[in-house]
Amino acid sequence: MWRAMGGCSMPPAEDANLLLGLVRRHLRSLAMTLDPQFPDEDWGFTAQQAVEKLLKAWIVLSDQRPPRSHELSELAALTEVELPAQLLGLQTYAVEARYEEGPFPLPAAREGLLAQIEQLLDCCIEAVNRSD
């Protein structure tokens, strides 16, 4: 996929845009599941994945290979992005909430988390556009 992983010759902005396409898909899923009847664990997992892919897009944009990690704080440390505490609170959904008995309440209201992820996406899109 991304050049920093070897073999592919796409520019970093193109690789980052591939990841951003996945983020957009996650955001559509999140927007369609704002109903509190939808399990927090599933909503949180999709939200965590969106944030993870956004951070990896920033790493790819800097022409680096993102680590094979789900750890949001580790990924954020490799970027110039300072994640809000509420988004860092999604880390639980990468593994624990998928494999352990809950409940795992979300770190904030779904609408607020979604808005923060959308804002992060907008910032990443701006960074991609500046790099072209």
Scanning the chain, the segments in alpha helix (DSSP H) are 12-32, 40-61, 72-77, 85-88, 96-99, 110-131
| Nearest C-alpha neighbor of 17 from the set 111, 110, 106, 129 | 129
What's the burial of 132, exposed, middle or buried (CB within 10 Å: 0-12/13-18/19+)? exposed
Query: Could you tell me the pTM of the whole model?
Result: 0.91
Closest CA to 92 of 113, 67, 118, 66: 113
Give pLDDT tens digits along the chain (132 positions). Answer: 544 444 455 789 999 999 999 999 999 999 999 999 999 999 999 999 999 999 999 999 999 999 999 999 999 999 989 999 999 999 999 999 999 998 999 999 999 999 999 999 999 999 999 987
